[in-house]
Amino acid sequence: MIPSPSRRTLLSSLAALALSAAAAAPALAQERDLRFQLDWRFEGPSALFLTPAAKGYFKAEKLNVTVDAGNGSGAAVTRVASGSYDMGFADLAALMEFHANNPTAPNKPVAVMMVYNNTPAAVLALRKSGIKAPADLNGKKLGAPVFDAGRRGWPIFAKANGVQNVAWTSMDPPLRETMLVRGDIDAITGFSFTSLLNLEARGVKTEDIVVLPYAANGVKLYGNAIIAGEEFLKKNPEAVKAFLRAFTRGMKDVVADPQAAVATVKARDGIINEALELRRLKLAMEQTVLTPDARAEGFGDVNPARLSLMASQVSDAYATKERVNAATVWNGAYLPPAAERNIFGAVKK
């Protein structure tokens, strides 16, 4: 029997639909490539991103994520802004500075998830120097690389603690702790979990080191956040949400088993000292992630009033071309639900 014209049309339409569905199926299952820029080299804290990659959490979200080592937050921000990377990990103050100094930039990165709720910036000194509190820094010689987050934010620390007449010495990062041990300077600024371990590696006993964290001395700056390029956010909002879901899942694993997390770093960079990087990771988590402020605000989120205050403080301390607009540097719309972001339940008792 010959099909009627209407029947032939129906059969043709069904066949076309079947072909379309078959062609679309592989596309839907295809992974999206995503380039991610770290703020620093592969050390303990990079386990926060290497863990979800190693455990297949990004893959489960249909993301093919490449995680690359970095050389500073400023570089991470500019690389995401240039489009070389889709997302990255950077100090929020560095992101604010970029926004305020490049108001017409076409692809300004935006912070989408807060990771270091408290800045890890700190002042470190040797106990024999007599420095015990911020007031003891008056008139002292301090040292740090010019791009160090603690040095850039020093005016905020100095104002909060009434410190004046400080003389600065600049150096490359590898010389910072060496110059302090030699006595060339009285104190340094740096990330607490980095400079503390670097001093110990140079033969200084833990009890002989004085650490003055910014967060414990009147400076409530946020630290590092996950950032995404403006264009990538517009074109791939679901990919950003998927990344943050996978990252959050990995964070719970890092909190529950830091030693296993450091193994993912060792797998990426075989020359690291696992014991040292485990300690670095634990210090980073204790001082910046698993903090009372993070518990109060919810991991990954920010407090609007605190964010606005930081924007004002960074504008003054960094002497930016324009005032930082807090509303343009942060967008929490891509975050997983608050209950899903509760990583504190994973802490071992």
Strand partners, 330: 111
> Tokens 């990079």 belong to which residue?
46
Strand partners, 186: none
Would you give per-residue pLDDT tens digits along the chain (349 residues)? 555 555 555 445 544 544 454 444 444 458 899 999 999 999 999 999 999 999 999 999 999 999 999 999 999 999 999 999 999 999 999 999 999 999 999 999 999 999 999 999 999 999 999 999 999 999 999 999 999 999 999 999 999 999 999 999 999 999 999 999 999 999 999 999 999 999 999 999 999 999 999 999 999 999 999 999 999 999 999 999 999 999 999 999 999 999 999 999 999 999 999 999 999 999 999 999 999 999 999 999 999 999 999 999 999 999 999 999 999 999 999 999 999 999 998 877 5
pLDDT of residue 30: 84
Q: Where are the alpha helices (DSSP H) in 40-148?
A: 47-54, 57-60, 73-82, 92-101
pTM across the whole model: 0.89
Q: How far apart are alpha carbons 256 and 245 in whole angstroms? A: 17
Exposure b/e, 148-164, CB count within 10 A at least 16 = b: bbbbbbbbbbbeebebe
Strand partners, 114: 225, 300
Domains of the chain: 32-118+222-346 (3.40.190.10), 121-216 (3.40.190.10)
Q: How far apart are alpha carbons 348 and 333 in whole angstroms? A: 30
How would you classify the pairing of strands 187-191 and 32-37? unpaired
